[in-house]
Structure 1
């Protein structure tokens, strides 16, 4: 009986909650299975009923076809480069800015924070024309710089970092100053190690955003060798047959890194979101 003492009491509310949770999980999981099984069907397969997609025969012919007829590997490497470099640099700058707003007193610091916060209310599409003109004037269109630099300004990361830094004990900073630590060393050796869950969560979100971004890469580059996967896939599909199995194959391939990252790092996402709400 002792083993059951700590068991959670089963109630009608818990049962309903679990049923709803599993129902939502199935609701999101079924489209992934639909995409996967359709991508494994041989090209030109007639699928009149939805059940036909989940029944043999299956083949990897579609995957071989997309690698043979398009520079998918190059597009994948481009996407990985941008989805890693841009978030790393963005979070580095955001953490510095948040530390200054949180721990360095200066005039109009509150105004500066609200100015950064207001950036969350401006959709990216509203600034796309101005951003294109600036990048064009800089002469970096159709380069990796055009794909990376505009993504370095991230107001959300600044707000989340500041909220977390505000919860740090002031005594910790004062003790570090008494030991002769500079502000940069306090930020790097104390604040950043304690912010690992926040960094992990923001890095994952930034990676997913960069990986899935279509509009800006579509406008910023014209050379096929600089295409990212979201940009390259529509161009590739417009050049070949619109067989239903082929679009599903390309999209299934593009979804693999996102699914892997989410499965591996999902606990860091939850922990990061939880810790970002800590108050001092």
Structure 2
């Protein structure tokens, strides 16, 4: 009986800790959402003022008129989706070649790709900017997309998964006359959906939150992404907090929708990368 009580008490404490942590993380989000519905100019730094008084949707109309936030949202979604799709194809093919094909220099190639994880973006930002300027790709979607296509961690995750696929299946396909691309498409690709989902989710998140390169390569307001446009809009409204809160809510909606739709894949991806990464 005492042991059963201890188990129940430990579960109760664990649940309280989990729900308490969740509420702690959710409270700033709730504060942001509620503040976005407060009248323009209302102080929102005091809890009592935020959750009392009048509420309005006027702030959403104001930010749609003052800032091209819908265009920024489209830019972020288009760039992130394109980067994710292209990265999945590139990393999957590269990982398949390193795992299942035999060619000279494969070990050196793998080491070069793995070493890319140790090179910070800041160390190559100047030559990257010069290369994009010479190619006349600044202030373009291509200029935002190309530098984000390289994903060494994605190649490593996919290669680790492809290594687990029995070589007998590949050899049987070779005997049937299947070429390298057919073997990847018909054998490796169909069974790698879980690992590709993990790589895709983290690639999309990274591209969506990318700030440094879009900040340096984009000067046109219409080409800005949300991580660049929102801080500039907030900087122009330092003395007033309801509009920046409203802009943050609008910017968060697509990410929240993606999380709600793909939450199972996100959890599986985190678990898989934690075990096999």
Calculate the TM-score normalised by the size of structure 2.
0.90
Indicate conservation of the 8 Å contact 1:90/1:154, yes or no.
yes
State the partner residue of 1:260.
Answer: 257
Task: Choose which of 145, 155, 167 in structure 2 pairs with 1:170.
Answer: 167
Q: Which moved more, 1:40-49 or 1:79-88?
A: 40-49
Cα RMSD (Å): 2.0
1:120 partnered with 2:120: no
* CA distance in 1: counterparts of 2:110 and 2:147, whole angstroms: 20
Cα deviation, residue 126, structure 1: 2.0
Indicate conservation of the 8 Å contact 1:89/1:152, yes or no.
yes
Cα deviation, residue 181, structure 1: 1.4
* CA distance in 2: counterparts of 1:137 and 1:35, whole angstroms: 42
Q: 1:111 to 1:13 in 2, by over 3 A?
A: farther
Task: Choose which of 10, 17, 22 in structure 2 pairs with 1:20.
Answer: 17
Cα deviation, residue 51, structure 1: 2.7
Q: Which moved more, 1:17-26 or 1:147-156?
A: 17-26
Cα deviation, residue 277, structure 1: 7.1
State the partner residue of 2:93.
Answer: 96
Indicate conservation of the 8 Å contact 1:163/1:277, yes or no.
no
Structure 1: give runs of 5+ residues left out of the alignment.
1-8
Q: Which moved more, 1:227-236 or 1:58-67?
A: 227-236
Cα deviation, residue 79, structure 1: 1.0
State the partner residue of 1:73.
Answer: 70
Q: 1:27 to 1:197 in 2, by over 3 A?
A: same
Residues 154-211 of structure 1 deviation map (CA, whole Å, 9 limit, x = unaligned): 1111011001111111122122222221111111122111111222222122112111
Trace 1:206-225 onto structure 2 (pairs within 5 A): 206-225=203-222
Cα deviation, residue 23, structure 1: 2.2
Q: Which moved more, 1:89-98 or 1:238-247?
A: 238-247
* CA distance in 2: counterparts of 1:129 and 1:84, whole angstroms: 26
Q: 1:51 to 1:171 in 2, by over 3 A?
A: farther
Task: Choose which of 196, 201, 204 in structure 2 pairs with 1:199.
Answer: 196
Structure 2: give runs of 5+ residues left out of the alignment.
1-5
